[in-house]
Amino acid sequence: MPADAASPLSISGVIQPYAWGGNRFLAEFLHQTNPENEPMAELWMGAHPKGPAQINGADKTLDQLITDTAVETLGERVASRFDNRLPFLFKILDVQAMLSIQVHPDKASAERGFAQEEASGPERSAPNRNYRDDNHKPELGVALTDFYLLHGFRSENSIRETLVEIPGWDALLPIFNELGVSGLYRHVMEADQETVDELLAPVLMELAGGEYEKYQPEFWAARAVEQYAKDGHQDRGIFSIFWFNVVHLRPGEGIFQDAGIPHAYLEGVCIELMANSDNVLRGGLTPKHIDVPELLRLTNTISVTPNVLLPQEQADGWSVYPTPAPDFRLRVAKPSTGKTLSVDTTAGPAIILLLSGEVKEQDGPLTLTEQDRIAFVPAGLQFSLLPASESVVYLAEVGE
């Protein structure tokens, strides 16, 4: 299929081999071999310069096409609104090992942090870089398998209970009583390693020999000890496991992570749709760069009740996951054989992901199968997809 911005384009995503990734799901999903069992953590489907999708049948990546034909590809409104950039990044994640306590910046913080690091270093690709671009990173995650994550702080009463119940943590009560959740979290995140080890020692004793379920923080604390203990020292991210909400998403359920909401992915496979950014501030449970002061500066310590999202049915056969993000919107459809599904990119471009089945463009050349799953749809097109079998289709598009 030619790299013509006037028609849907078959594209191939880019694998990010982060160490926490599984080695089977994405290989099987993409019908690729992985004989060395290398980690295949994320499939990026977008135009971020760190991993732009390849346009199949053309010697061009998606970001190059957009740079060359921004107004035609994105549409005049989106090109003007988002500075000639595709505003979202679409991903699939396979989380085998729990990964970093993290927050994402808001737009103003991202612009400020990026400008500072551009001026004073480190290099944009350096491992100790915080801001690799100038964008915020709200994100929507939708589970494809049972998916576990940490999301936001628990209630003050729940956090107080951990200080009373866990041996040795009563020493933290005066800090909590005086400075609240924010002061408590700052204290343990800025503590020296000796203090961290001393506070976590009774936790390790309690965990020894215990059997826990995945809805319990103790289950993930024990896994964190196995995964991140080094030279007899413990990871301070374990405090977050006890003070954040443990969330279990069933397949099809979603959750929205806004700027400043601390979170960490624990296990499972999910779709992610986010603003087109790779900005992450980390504070633990990771071998990657940690910047505790910047993490604390951006972290919102208010109590959060996780809002599990279900797709809302629409009259056109699609269902939509509601989020406040202007950069993106995610739709899903499960069309039956013989029933068409409309695609309309009048308002801006989209990326189609075929999760299962097969769909064809009615009166057009596009065919998505389980061997060729992804298509970029430039702005200004209207067409119908006709399923050849029972199918599941996701559509990432620009928000309102």
Tens digit of pLDDT for each residue in 194-227? Answer: 999 999 999 999 898 889 999 999 999 999 999 9
Q: What is the mean pLDDT of residues 257-281?
A: 95
What is the share, in percent, of the chain residues with pLDDT greater than 70? 99
Residue of 282, 329, 331, 373 marked active site: 282
Please give the mean pLDDT across all residues of the chain.
94
Q: What is the mean pLDDT of residues 37-49?
A: 96
Q: What is the pLDDT of residue 235?
A: 94
Contact 127, 289 (CB under 8 A): yes
Residue 294 has pLDDT above 70, yes or no: yes
Domain boundaries, the chain: 88-311
Q: What is the mean pLDDT of residues 391-395?
A: 97
282 counts as catalytic: yes
- Any binding-site annotation on 233? no
Lowest average pLDDT, out of 83-97, 247-261, 330-344, goes to 330-344
Q: What is the pLDDT of residue 338?
A: 79
Q: What is the pLDDT of residue 121?
A: 84
- Any binding-site annotation on 104? yes
Tens digit of pLDDT for each residue in 84-98? Answer: 999 999 999 999 999
Residue 2 has pLDDT above 50, yes or no: no
Secondary structure of the chain as H, E, C letters: CCCCCCCCEEEECEEECCCCECCCHHHHHCCCCCCCCCCCCEEEECCCCCCCCEECCCCCEHHHHHHHCHHHHHCHHHHHHCCCCCCEEEEEEEECCCCCEEECCCHHHHHHHHHHHHHHCCCCCCCCCCCCCCCCCCEEEEECCCEEEEEEECCHHHHHHHHHHCCCHHHHHHHHHHHHHHHHHHHHHHCCHHHHHHHHHHHHHHHCCCCCCCCCHHHHHHHHHHHHCECCECCCHHHHHHHEEEEEECCCCEEEECCCCCEEEEEEEEEEEEECCCCCEEEECCCCCCCHHHHHHHCCCCECCCCCECCEECCCCCEEECCCCCCCEEEEECCCCCCCEEEECCCCCEEEEEEECCEEECCCCCEEECCECEEEECCCCEEEEEECCCCEEEEEECCC
Q: What is the mean pLDDT of residues 146-161?
A: 98
Rounded to a whole number of angstroms, the CA Rg of the chain reads 22
Q: What is the pLDDT of residue 219?
A: 96
- Any binding-site annotation on 139? yes
Which positions ≥6 away from 306 have C-beta within 8 Å?
151, 152, 245, 247, 255
Q: What is the pLDDT of residue 5?
A: 52
Class in CATH terms, 88-311:
mainly beta
